[in-house]
């Protein structure tokens, strides 16, 4: 029986990885901190074969502890779920002589300032980006390089759209930079975040994500996903639809830009979640890449739409087996996130009537909880999942159901 070391399972994709490992007949050992392990839901713990504790905020110590554990246990593959730990996954795989990404480039998969440099070096179509510590520095650099407003301001390290804002004028730069520096520590491990801020050109156009399983430098693309976000200053994701209805030429351009980005980041064995916009002037532009499975239940959405199990294919790649990524079957799936109409006390969700295609859903916020406004993904109170034969139908079904959904806040 193969043994996989998974660096932190407490993530949206964690349960999918653990289920896929079981289906492949592999055992999973999870690397985490014992205090974090205490907070694992029972259902997650039940899927794990064993745990090894270390301090994931100390990369040198974690590397030494986990290498010793892996050698003593006879670990066959190293995997991860969290973006912030993807450099550790790459370094550990290299140390153990197992398949993985290039550790020399791995920091670029975690830090958007380093990623922008790697994209520039690899001639990846990406927004021009500067990295700064203050609004004054940003204003001077933008003027020098000739980047006009609007610009997008974001933390060099974060996720979930936390701290990301679209800044329309020089007067708003200060607020944007402060917003980006509001989360210096990432829960649950207490990982310190780079406090640099990146400022980049605003890219217009629709947004997509494309997941790719990479095995021995060969790319296995999953069906593209259309990403729906809020408009205005804060861009939180409101939902995803798989597959995105894209003409063949646009899909192949999206794939080409993605492959260029993965090469620039040294992603050679594992999985990548690439976010792109298709600009009316410039075509596909890469916004970011995570060398990890997607969050937002996209593993489930893609599987319901296409029959392809991305978590299984990822584990096959790190086990050095050819990943199963067959041609997608006909069908579509959409997820929509429920966010409160305004800040206040949450009283529940009412969906009037019956709705075609509504196959799953979860309300994750308890009644009586205080909820914020939808600046980032932390405002979500739950989600609904729909399936239908086509993307157009599933989008229409989701829109219809949402129009009959009331989120009670006072
Ligand atoms: N340069 C840009 N031009 C236009 N929109 C952008 C740009 N950069 C980011 N955005 C918008 O802001 C959203 C969040 O940005 P980004 O993906 O870089 O941050 P994140 O915190 O990693 O987000 P998430 O984890 O939600 O994917 C993007 O999905 C996109 O809608
Ligand atoms: Mg993103």
Higher pLDDT, 375 or 287: 287
Does residue 164's CB lie within 6 angstroms of at least one atom of ligand 1?
yes
DSSP H helices in 181-319: 248-264, 298-306, 310-318
Contact 135, 174 (CB under 8 A): yes
> CA dist 156 to 136, 175, 184, 276, Å?
17, 16, 11, 18
Residue 235: the pLDDT is 84
Task: Give the range among 16-20, 131-135, 258-262, 376-380 with minimum mean pLDDT.
Answer: 376-380
Q: By percentage, how much of the chain surpasses pLDDT 90?
A: 92
Q: How confident is the model at residue 51 (pLDDT cuts 50, 70, 90)?
A: very high
Cα 243 to middle of ligand 1, angstroms:
20
Residue located via tokens 């109409």: 341
- Mean pLDDT for 369-378 is 78
CATH 3.40.50.20 domain span(s) along the chain: 3-106
Does residue 156's CB lie within 6 angstroms of at least one atom of ligand 1?
no
Strand order in the sheet with 50-53: 50-53, 27-32, 3-7, 77-80
**pLDDT for 306-324, tens place per residue?**
999 999 999 999 999 999 9
Q: How many CA atoms are closer than 13 Å to the CA of 281, on its beta-carbon side?
A: 5
Q: Is the pLDDT of residue 280 over 80?
A: yes
Which ligand neighbours the alpha carbon of 163 most closely?
Answer: 1
Which residue is closest in CA terms to ligand 1's atom 23? Answer: 161
Class for the domain spanning 128-201: alpha beta
Q: Which is it for strands 129-132 and 27-32: parallel, antiparallel or unpaired?
A: unpaired
* Mutate which of 288, 292, 374 for ligand 1 pocket (most atoms within 8 A of beta carbon): 288
Cα 186 to middle of ligand 2, angstroms:
16
Residue 160: the pLDDT is 83
Q: Is the pLDDT of residue 91 over 90?
A: yes
Q: Is the pLDDT of residue 375 over 90?
A: no
Q: By percentage, how much of the chain surpasses pLDDT 70?
A: 100
Contacts of 242 (CB under 8 A, 6+ apart): 223, 224, 225, 226, 298, 301, 302, 305, 306, 332, 333, 334, 391
Which residue is closest in CA terms to ligand 1's atom 14? Answer: 161
Q: How confident is the model at residue 78 (pLDDT cuts 50, 70, 90)?
A: very high
Q: Is the pLDDT of residue 377 over 80?
A: no
Contact 101, 268 (CB under 8 A): yes
Residue 231: the pLDDT is 87
- Mean pLDDT for 208-235 is 95
Please provide the average confidence, as pLDDT, over all residues in the chain: 96
Q: Is the pLDDT of residue 342 over 90?
A: no
Q: Is the pLDDT of residue 161 over 90?
A: no
Residue 379: the pLDDT is 81
- Mean pLDDT for 78-84 is 97
Residue 374: the pLDDT is 67
Atom of ligand 1 lying closest to residue 290 CA: 22
Q: How confident is the model at residue 36 (pLDDT cuts 50, 70, 90)?
A: very high
CATH 3.30.470.20 domain span(s) along the chain: 331-410
For residue 265 the two structure tokens come to 């980041």
Class for the domain spanning 3-106: alpha beta
Q: Is the pLDDT of residue 376 over 90?
A: no
Handedness of CA 200, 206, 212, 217 (dihedral sign): negative
- Quickly name the fold that domain 331-410 has: D-amino Acid Aminotransferase; Chain A, domain 1 (3.30.470)
* Helix axes 14-24 and 310-318, enclosed angle (nearest 10): 70
For ligand 2, a single-atom ion, the residues with CB < 5 A are 275, 288
* Mutate which of 83, 161, 206 for ligand 1 pocket (most atoms within 8 A of beta carbon): 161
For residue 263 the two structure tokens come to 């090469």
Give 396: exposed, middle or buried? Use CB within 10 Å, 0-12, 13-18, 19+.
middle
**pLDDT for 225-268, tens place per residue?**
999 998 888 888 899 999 999 999 999 999 999 999 999 999 99
Q: What span, in angstroms and rounded, lies between the C-alpha atoms of 109 and 268?
A: 12
Handedness of CA 198, 202, 208, 214 (dihedral sign): negative
**pLDDT for 112-132, tens place per residue?**
999 999 999 999 999 999 999
């Amino acid at each position: 029986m193969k043994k996989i070391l998974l660096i932190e399972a407490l993530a949206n994709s964690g349960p999918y990885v653990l289920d896929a490992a079981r289906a492949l007949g592999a055992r999973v050992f999870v690397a985490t901190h014992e205090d974090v392990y205490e907070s694992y839901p029972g259902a997650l713990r039940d899927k794990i074969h064993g745990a090894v504790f270390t301090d994931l905020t100390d990369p040198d110590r974690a590397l030494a502890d986990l290498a010793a554990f892996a050698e003593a246990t006879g670990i066959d593959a190293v995997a991860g779920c969290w973006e912030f730990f993807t450099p550790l996954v790459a370094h550990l795989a290299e140390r153990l002589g197992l398949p993985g990404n290039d550790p020399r480039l791995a920091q670029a998969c975690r830090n958007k300032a380093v990623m922008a440099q790697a994209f520039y070096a690899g001639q990846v179509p990406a927004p021009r980006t500067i990295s700064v510590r203050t609004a004054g520095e940003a204003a001077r650099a933008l003027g020098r390089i000739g980047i006009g407003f609007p610009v997008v301001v974001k933390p060099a390290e974060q996720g979930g759209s936390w701290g990301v804002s679209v800044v329309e004028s020089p007067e708003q730069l200060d607020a944007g930079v402060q917003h980006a520096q509001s989360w210096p520590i990432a829960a649950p491990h207490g990982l310190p975040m780079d406090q640099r801020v990146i400022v980049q050109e605003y890219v217009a156009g629709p947004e997509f994500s494309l997941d790719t399983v990479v095995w021995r430098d060969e790319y296995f693309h999953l069906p593209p996903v259309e990403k729906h976000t809020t408009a205005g200053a804060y861009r939180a994701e409101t939902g995803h639809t798989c597959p995105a209805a894209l003409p063949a030429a646009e899909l192949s351009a999206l794939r080409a830009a993605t492959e260029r980005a993965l090469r620039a980041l040294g992603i050679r064995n594992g999985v990548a979640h690439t976010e792109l916009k298709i600009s009316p002037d410039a075509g596909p532009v890469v916004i970011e890449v995570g060398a990890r499975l997607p969050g937002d239940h996209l593993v489930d959405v893609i599987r319901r739409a296409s029959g392809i199990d991305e978590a299984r294919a990822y584990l096959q790649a790190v086990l050095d087996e050819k990943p199963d990524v067959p041609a997608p079957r006909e069908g579509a799936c959409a997820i929509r996130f429920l966010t409160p109409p305004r800040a206040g006390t949450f009283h529940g969700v009412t969906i009037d009537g019956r709705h075609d295609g509504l196959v799953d859903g979860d309300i994750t916020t308890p009644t009586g909880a205080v909820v914020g406004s939808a600046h980032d993904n932390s405002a979500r109170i739950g989600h609904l999942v729909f399936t239908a034969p086509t993307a157009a139908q599933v989008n229409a079904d989701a829109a219809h159901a949402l129009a009959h959904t009331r989120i009670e806040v006072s």
